[in-house]
Amino acid sequence: MIKDCMKKVIALNLHETAYVDDELEIKPYYAGHVLGAAMFYVRVGEQSVVYTGDYNMTPDRHLGSAWIDKCRPDILITETTYATTIRDSKRSRERDFLQKVHDCVSQGGNVIIPVFALGRAQELCILIETYWERMGLNVPVYFSAGLTERANEYYKLFINWTNQKIKSTFTQRNMFDFKHIKPWERSYMDQPGPMVLFATPGMLHIGTSLEVFKKWAPFEKNMVILPGYCVAGTVGAKVLAGQKVIEVDNFTTIHVNLQVKNLSFSAHADAKGIMQLIRQCEPRNVILVHGEKSKMGFLQTKITKEFDISCYYPANGTSLTIETNNVATVDISVELMKKHLEMSRTLTTDLFNSSNPVERQSAISQLRPKQKVPIQGVLVYNKGKPDRLISRDEFVNNAQEHSHQLFFELTKVFDPSKLYTASDMDVTQDPSLRALDKVKEALVAALGNTLQVETTPELHVKIRTIEIRPTADARTDALLVTWSFADEDLANRVLSIMNFTLLP
């Protein structure tokens, strides 16, 4: 049965868009957190959702940070494990962790670090391995055999999912081939210390971690470091609450005399990371899940206030009704379509001929099939007739209306020292005029075959309605750019060329 199910599974690469049919689109994004973790963008018709699952916006020693583009989904469903927590510097936590472990073992104590097999185990093992090698320590370090050992093998297989540092050093040394960390055997539990043990599971509720904790807990020189979240009711949660006597079951009682430390190395996004993800993908609505009710309520208020969007945190089993944008079918006039295609063709040709490699890559991407083609026009609604999208000129002529122009203005600051080279003859030229000359040269090279780039009597550079001139404030090294709404696409192209020219 499992084999039959696996035959239906289709593997996707990160950031690869899968079109199941005309209506269903799926795209995975890197989520950090653990090996293989992914966030998913799903579009059905015109409605879209991003479901994060668990993710981490902070890179660590073996994985990169989660990332998503501005996909602007109708709904973002995000985890909120740490909805109100803002963690301190990762470096300071790592130093604190290593110092506590070192102090304990140097005094002859044993350190148990409860972790889950995938994620924090590898993160902290790399940290300890690096520190042990740097300090020349010979205190034995173990990880519980089984799941953790197998998980390490998968990290070796899928090294391309790790961060850039591990990938770049992989040919010289695989960071998951630990020299100082060995598999744990049950017989080691009765050996005299010191030693360090990474044991699963992370909440001390069953397994090796609980068994060893019961053995080491009565002794003050020993230490337990809990690096993650513990669910209420587990032994780990009771230890963090400071209980000195813990009843595991009707037959087992643990007297807790060892040192207890809690250092957050969780691979979940904190409040700052959640807000960062919302800022990246710009959703229209947010749904909070996987968190505590009171903390989710606090985060909901913050999200609503900062982003001015609707935010919900429904209880399990409840339904939500969320309004989304409707889709309207319209007829597009032939004249508008011709103008749009001509403009697209002109800009794409210019991009192909550009000296900027980023712009050439943009031109190549425009050759690929598109699901959506944005067109600007005037929407005409006539009762009883199909809605039509027509060009501005058609509307002015047909409706006998006066045309109104909307203009934009942008100040582009530049560094005068970047304008001159050793071969320049005249270094006394006004920086603004020098910048204008360089911009005009770049515009002629990029657009001169299809558009007229001219200099006005006032020495301004002009293309259609786009005009570039020095600012009125002579104390500021900047150029003022103005353009009409009708030339917005061309203006974006001009601004891109200016960035490439003035900010080398």
Please enumerate, as own/partner, the contacts of 354-363 that have beta carbons within 8 Å and a separation of 24 or more. 354/446, 354/497, 355/445, 355/446, 356/496, 356/497, 356/500, 359/496, 359/500
Q: Tell me how far CA of residue 60 lies from CA of 34, 126, 195, 329, in angstroms.
A: 11, 10, 25, 48
Geometric angle at alpha carbon 385, from 379 and 386, rounded to 5°: 50
Distance of CA 70 to the CA centre of its chain: 10
CA distance 239 to 260: 7
Active site residues: 79
Farthest-apart Cα atoms in the chain, separation: 96
Coil vs helix vs strand at 469: strand
* Beta bridge mates, 484: 407
Q: E strands of 350-419, at which residues?
A: 378-380, 388-390, 407-413
CA distance 348 to 365: 10
Cβ pair 162, 151 in contact under 8 A: no
Cβ pair 166, 130 in contact under 8 A: no
CA distance 13 to 160: 11
CA distance 491 to 470: 17
